Amino acid sequence: MKDIDKSFKKDTETDFPLREEMRPRKVTTPDGQVIDIDPLQDYFCQEPPKVHRKSYSAIVEGFYNWARANSLWILGFGTGCGAIEMRPLMTPRFDAYRYGIQWRPTPRQSNLLVISGYLSVKTLKRAIRAYEQMPQPKYVVGLGSCTINGGMYWDSYNTIKKLDEYLPVDLYIAGCMPRPEALLAGLMDLKKLIRKGEAEGANRYAENFDWYKANQKSVIKDWDMPDYSW
Amino acid sequence: MSFEWIHVAYAALTLFIVINYGMIMTALVRKIGARVSGRYGIPIWQNYIDLAKNIALRSKVTHGAMFYLGPVFRLTGGVGLLLFVPTIYGSVMHQNFSYAGDLILALYFVFFGTLGMALGAGESGHPHAAIGVSRGLAQVTTAELPLALAVYALSLQYQTIDITEIVAAQQGSLFNWTLFTNPLATVAALFGLVGTMMRSPFDVVMAPQEIPIGPPTEYHSSYLALMQTNRVLFPVAKVVIFMNLFFGGATNWAEFAVKAFAIYMIPVLIGVVNPRFRVEQSIRFFLKWGLPVGILAIVTV
């Protein structure tokens, strides 16, 4: 079930140039000084992610996990058709706010990335960048069959099949499409995982960073971004 | 007022009470909003959990010294605003560090946090933060104009810049309140209150669906926790000033709770029925409607 289709794999023959805004260049500052800018060096961090240890005290970590579970902030980022199933959770019918689940507009302030459906290679790039910018601990939920095994997009030339090979998934919600009730039940299960301290996807990502990067780079044909963008 | 060390402990107690009051009250206001729209709403203690969660986050990314100092300045603005005006009139414990010229200092502290945030958000380097800051400074500057004029009208009316004396002059009867003795100044100041509360129609600074959330776009974990603390403290501190200047102050905590909630609901009620202004619309609004009322208040005092 690996993404080994010939048309799918990265083209290693052709040389993909960096995007224009990523190329090194000379810039004249307002006071006439000419400075060299290398965006990949200057604007992004070159360090790989670190494994963050748990708190030394089990009681403190337990309290933190309780707080994390009861204050889940979801990144308002939707891919595929599942994004439409997230919206009813904000409405009077399902009202996820009563469980401490809220939506945030920026990855810096969110803890949960819901990949809500099929993920095209083009969107995978953005999902990776959004995921890497979120502060630890962070969680990924794969919504729908497309994130589990490709679903109805199994032999598509442009969507990934197993999300877990590219981002560390904490929880899958099966279905095509799962109804909002299923999503809500899945989020309750995620809360239980967090309470137990088992949702350590961010550390898994840091430990197996090279493997994840190799997988990501093997499908993204024009890798024109830094290796790790916090 | 002579200084004694016990005043520090009293002021800390005031701060503690006001922060907890703000935590509960802002959650209650959100809950009321949810109930009106037919939802159950967040738990009443959700603000505490969010705060604990943000402190519990493990990775903290910094962008430099000003990035640290931005939330600190912002919180300093809120704490300073609260500590230099009397919270409970006539109480020794909650008189705080108010002194003869505290009205001018309070005006300064209302603006101080915004400036600190501008520096911090500027260093985060995010374009949305820069947009939010430029909008925020432009809008808050014009919203402050009617407020400043109303404050001058008040100091002319009462011939003092001491908030304690202004509160003392309003005691006795409901009709001694500035709300009734000088309604024009009250209306002008309410323009300032509604304009700086970051609520619709003047929330283009944050504009969640447009520029993700403006200045705090890059803020997370402990930095965000500091700003969350300020977000519950600062509106209440601002409301305390309005309560003291226009609504007769408060002589005990029960009166404080009721009045602060009532004044806080003014921008909330205006917010839920009005769509968002663009920044040039809101500037024009304050210059066209707020400023003339403020000038009238000064002329007729």
Residue of A59, A93, A106, A136 best to disrupt the B interface, most CBs of B under 10 A: A106
Q: Domain range holding B175?
A: 6-300
Residues paired with residue A36 on neighbouring β-strands, in sequence order: A26
CA proximity to A147, closest of A97, A108, A186? A186
**pLDDT above 80: residue A182:** yes
Instruction: Describe the crossing of helices B183-196 and B127-158 by its angle, rounded to 10 degrees.
Output: 160
Question: Is the Cβ of A223 closer than 8 Å to some Cβ of chain B?
Answer: no
Question: Is the Cβ of A105 closer than 8 Å to some Cβ of chain B?
Answer: yes
Partners of residue B228 in chain A, C-beta under 8 Å: none
**pLDDT above 90: residue A16:** no
Residues A214 and A9 sit within 8 Å (Cβ to Cβ): no
- Rounded alpha-carbon distances, angstroms, from residue B263 to A76, A80, A151, B163, B294: 33, 45, 54, 18, 19
Q: For A55-219, CATH number? A: 3.40.50.12280
Whether B1 is covered by a domain: the verdict is: no
pLDDT tens-digit map of B84-127: 888 888 777 777 777 777 888 888 888 887 787 788 887 887 88
CA proximity to A205, closest of A151, A143, A140? A140
Residue of A50, A55, A109, A205 best to disrupt the B interface, most CBs of B under 10 A: A109
**pLDDT above 50: residue A207:** yes
B246, two tokens: 């226009």
Whether B146 is covered by a domain: the verdict is: yes
Whether residue A108 and residue B46 make contact (CB cut-off 8 A), yes or no, is: no
Domain regions of chain A by residue span: 55-219
Whether residue B43 and residue A98 make contact (CB cut-off 8 A), yes or no, is: yes
Whether B12 is covered by a domain: the verdict is: yes
Question: Complex ipTM, two decimals?
Answer: 0.85
Query: Predicted confidence band at B16 (pLDDT cuts at 50, 70, 90)?
Result: very high
Which H/E stretch holds residue A113?
A: strand A112-115
CA–CA separation, B197 and B271 (whole Å): 10
pLDDT tens-digit map of B143-177: 889 988 998 898 888 888 888 888 888 888 888 88
- Strands A139-143, A112-115: pairing kind: parallel
Instruction: Describe the crossing of helices B253-273 and B6-36 by its angle, rounded to 10 degrees.
Output: 40
The pLDDT assigned to A15 comes to: 65
B87 Cβ contact partners less than 8 Å away, ≥ 6 residues apart? B14, B18, B94, B95, B96, B240, B250, B256
Number of domains making up chain B: 1
Query: Predicted confidence band at A215 (pLDDT cuts at 50, 70, 90)?
Result: confident
Whether B251 is covered by a domain: the verdict is: yes
The three-class DSSP label of residue A31 is: coil
The pLDDT assigned to A45 comes to: 72
Place of tokens 């279905």: A175
Of A100, A108, A136, the CB nearest to B58: A136
Taking residues A82-89, what's their average pLDDT? 87
